[in-house]
Amino acid sequence: MKYKRVLVKGIVQGVGFRAFIYRNALSLTSLKGYVRNLLDGSVEIVCRGDERDIEKIIDAAKKGPYGSRVDGVEITEIDLEEDYRDFSVRR
């Protein structure tokens, strides 16, 4: 199954970034996957859904919540065996 992996770099940890993405994802009914912090200080979003909903979550990631600073966003398409039922926050 094809997923998009969105890697967000900048000041994106400790500023409510995951919660911001999660709230946005909940309003996009087709979006499935997760958001999590990575050890290098970036945030990873892995998702699938309607192309329009994926673009909306990417736009939200580029903006970020108040207090964050997004320096870069890398988007790649990946193959995953797992089929997520919802969108979640991982630790």
Segment 7-63, tens digit of pLDDT: 999 999 999 999 999 999 999 999 999 999 999 999 999 999 999 999 999 999 999
Q: pLDDT category, 91, cuts 50, 70, 90?
A: confident
pTM, whole model, 2 decimals?
0.96
pLDDT number for residue 35: 98
**Catalytic, out of 5, 24, 37, 90:** 37
Q: Where are the domains of the chain?
A: 1-6+13-66
pLDDT number for residue 5: 98
Q: For the chain, give the DSSP string.
A: -EEEEEEEEEE-SSSSHHHHHHHHHHT-TT-EEEEEE-TTS-EEEEEES-HHHHHHHHHHHHH--TT-EEEEEEEEEEE-S---SSEEEE-
> CA 21, 35, 46, 28: dihedral to nearest 10 degrees?
-30
- For the domain spanning 1-6+13-66, the CATH number is 3.30.70.100
Q: Is 37 a catalytic residue?
A: yes
CB 6 within 8 A of CB 48: no
Q: Given a cut of 80, is residue 1 above it in pLDDT?
A: no
**Catalytic, out of 18, 23, 52, 91:** 18
- Average of per-residue pLDDT across 1-12: 95
